[in-house]
Amino acid sequence: MAERKSFLLRLDPAVHDALSRWANDELRSVNAQIEFLLRRALAEAGRLPDNAGRPARRGRPRKTTPPERPETEPPGTEPPDPSGPGD
């Protein structure tokens, strides 16, 4: 995925509150909602560049699969010592 650009955006508090409520209704962050609206406006105006990356996927990022650990026996189930009882 291409590097994301970040910048400071100053909003009227009432506009931010409205965006926040809208984003919550659609299960998005305010940032994702703003990007969604900007992309939609650009597409409707015919100004969305062909090389614009795809929007970030919704939801939490997928967990990476942890490396497999070798199977071990639960404590107390080790096989008996073949040399017999203690020396």
Q: Which residues contact 2 (CB under 8 A, 6 or more apart)?
A: 53
Q: What is the mean pLDDT of residues 49-58?
A: 80
Mean pLDDT calculated for residue range 1-11: 86
Is the pLDDT at 82 greater than 60, yes or no? yes
Structural domain range at position 40:
19-44
26 pLDDT more than 90: yes
Number of domains the chain is built from: 1
Residue 37 lies in a domain: yes
